[in-house]
Amino acid sequence: MKHPCKYHPGTEALWYCAHDGLYLCQQCVDGDEDHRMEARCLLCNHDLLPAVQSQVGPLWQRLGRYLRLPFSLPLLPLLAIWPVLATLLPPLWAMVPVALVAGLPTFVFSAALMTLRAGPRKSRKAAFPGWDCLAESASWKSALWQALPASLVIGLAALLMVAVSVPVGLLVAVIGMLLVPALWLAVLVQGAEPGAYAAVGNYIVSAPRDYAVAAGFASLGCVSVVALVGVAVDVLPLPLVQGVAGLLAAWWWLVLAEMCGDIAARHGRLWGLNQGGRRVTLPLAERRQRAQLCAGRFDKVLLTTSKIIKTKKATVVDWQHHDRLLAVLGKEDERIALAESYLNCLVGAQAWSVALELVARQRHRDSQWLPTAPALRLALAEGVYPRDPKLAVALLKELHQKYPEFADLGEAYLLLAKVLAEAFGLSGKAEQYLRYVESHCRDVRLRQKVADCRLAWG
């Protein structure tokens, strides 16, 4: 693990925030799983760089390594296959069919090389793909779609050299090859489909410095190969010229594939490539809050949670989160002011244990504290009387004096009588409340409940 995430130490960082100087994993980034055209920091909202890009220099500094790559031992057979096949084939016009037929193994291996370089970091431990990639249909499909634009540019340039003039053909080759790396990247990122080419502009704009190096090599390298072949035609037999062309084409192709693979490895996360990061499963709002909490930015989180608890969708978890933030920030007056609203949410969710803790906390500050709303008192008493009958009595007694217009006063006093009789054995006191219900409530249902209570208590 080169760099761990600042707020998830066990996770490798995929992004780097230059504004905050932080390495972040996908959980700490404003993004939807692995499919984002841009990534932003959840703390400062600035654009992010892939973590790999923050550690390496520009692509041109590695140009020497790219130019030597085709001469690596695993790739030497490719430098031999194309020249040998090109030499054995009969002379063909403009060498285009030679490039298409003799270069197929190199096309496939190059496509597999690009996929390896741009894939998950674990797979990049292998320096080169295995030769079994020649048996994979996906590699063949990608190779053909990547070879198509380069072959068209070469074919058109060759046709113009013969039919119009050499400068015109070379100019078309120079301009056309500037787009070939972007077309290869499009096939790599979007898949081997015709519609993949439509995303070419994004790869040029989002990685201009690195892309300029690859495009410059594609253009100048192609023209240099053509120039060398043109010189070879004057001094070598045609079969050998075809062999030299195949050798140079294989070298050019492999170098450009390695460059494109490295560009995708650096910028692929911006383009939607899954480079091995843990998939995002938490909602964006929750991830933003977690990142802000880890960074100690409690005020920002408090603003968000304050908005949430004012909505009807606020849950007990939201209220608990908000209450803890107020406690951390030392805003006790605000905690006291919101206590009844918090309690109302707890009662609605039947979170009786948490409700009892909240009431105990409030009564510790003020021993006479009780909810002011009579409906909330009754609902709370109904839920907590088996656990705390004393609190239920405190909530329900003298309601007729404080809230004489309370519509459910009869239900409240029936519950109070039940608690007094069953929890404390105060049948006489309970009878006083039953008589009050009989004398002040005309509801037949309540009168029947009074009779049932007397029968039950003997």
pLDDT of residue 338: 92
Residue 17 neighbours by CB under 8 Å, 6+ apart: 23, 24, 41, 43, 44, 46, 48, 49
User: For residue 348, what are the CA distances in angstroms to 89, 232, 438?
Assistant: 84, 88, 30
pLDDT of residue 458: 65
Same domain (yes/no): 337, 243: no
User: For residue 314, what are the CA distances in angstroms to 183, 308, 309, 319, 344?
Assistant: 49, 6, 5, 7, 12
The answer to the question of residue 168 being in a domain is yes
What residue numbers bound the domain in which 121 lies?
A: 59-271
**In the predicted structure, residue 281 carries a pLDDT above the cut 90:** no
pLDDT of residue 255: 92
Q: Which pLDDT tens digit goes with each residue over 287-329? A: 888 888 888 888 888 888 898 898 888 899 989 989 998 998 8
The answer to the question of residue 64 being in a domain is yes
The answer to the question of residue 285 being in a domain is no
Task: Tell me how far apart the alpha carbons of residues 254 and 390 are, in angstroms, rounded to a whole number.
Answer: 83
Same domain (yes/no): 50, 140: no
The answer to the question of residue 280 being in a domain is no
The answer to the question of residue 291 being in a domain is no
Average pLDDT, the chain: 83
pLDDT of residue 246: 84
User: For residue 97, what are the CA distances in angstroms to 158, 177, 224, 305, 443?
Assistant: 12, 19, 20, 66, 99
Same domain (yes/no): 431, 394: yes
Interval 224-231 mean pLDDT = 84
pLDDT of residue 34: 45
pLDDT of residue 339: 92
Same domain (yes/no): 102, 200: yes
Q: Residue 291: what residue type? A: A
Same domain (yes/no): 94, 208: yes
Helix residue ranges, H only, 37-136: 63-68, 76-88, 96-102, 104-118
The answer to the question of residue 266 being in a domain is yes
Task: Tell me how far apart the alpha carbons of residues 253 and 230 are, in angstroms, rounded to a whole number.
Answer: 19
**In the predicted structure, residue 202 carries a pLDDT above the cut 90:** no
pLDDT of residue 95: 54
Same domain (yes/no): 401, 354: no
Same domain (yes/no): 156, 267: yes
pLDDT of residue 94: 46
CB 34 within 8 A of CB 26: yes
**In the chain, how many H helices and how many E strands?**
22, 5
The answer to the question of residue 104 being in a domain is yes
Q: Which pLDDT tens digit goes with each residue over 86-130? A: 777 766 554 555 556 667 788 888 888 888 877 766 555 667 888
CB 177 within 8 A of CB 219: yes
> What percentage of residues in the chain have a pLDDT greater than 70?
90
Domain count, the chain: 4
Same domain (yes/no): 213, 255: yes
Question: Lowest mean pLDDT: which of 12-21, 54-63, 309-318, 418-427?
Answer: 54-63
CA-only gyration radius of the chain, Å: 38
Same domain (yes/no): 314, 414: no
Residue that the structure tokens 């007397």 belong to: 454
Residue 150 neighbours by CB under 8 Å, 6+ apart: 177, 180
Question: Lowest mean pLDDT: which of 120-124, 333-337, 340-344, 430-434?
Answer: 120-124
Bridge partners of residue 50, in order along the sequence:
15
CB 301 within 8 A of CB 308: no
Bridge partners of residue 49, in order along the sequence:
16
**In the predicted structure, residue 244 carries a pLDDT above the cut 70:** yes
Q: Which pLDDT tens digit goes with each residue over 346-387? A: 999 999 999 999 999 999 999 889 999 999 999 999 999 999
Interval 36-60 mean pLDDT = 74
The answer to the question of residue 288 being in a domain is no
CB 103 within 8 A of CB 246: yes
Interval 37-47 mean pLDDT = 80
Domain boundary among 253, 271, 289: 271
Choose among 146, 148, 157: nearest CA to 226: 157
pLDDT of residue 358: 93
341: pLDDT confidence band, cut at 50, 70 and 90?
very high
Domain boundary among 376, 409, 426: 376
Same domain (yes/no): 76, 215: yes
Residue that the structure tokens 């309540």 belong to: 446
pLDDT of residue 344: 92
**What 8-state DSSP symbol labels residue 247?**
H
Domain boundary among 352, 376, 400: 376
Same domain (yes/no): 35, 183: no
Choose among 203, 234, 273: nearest CA to 36: 273
Same domain (yes/no): 352, 403: no
CB 261 within 8 A of CB 116: yes
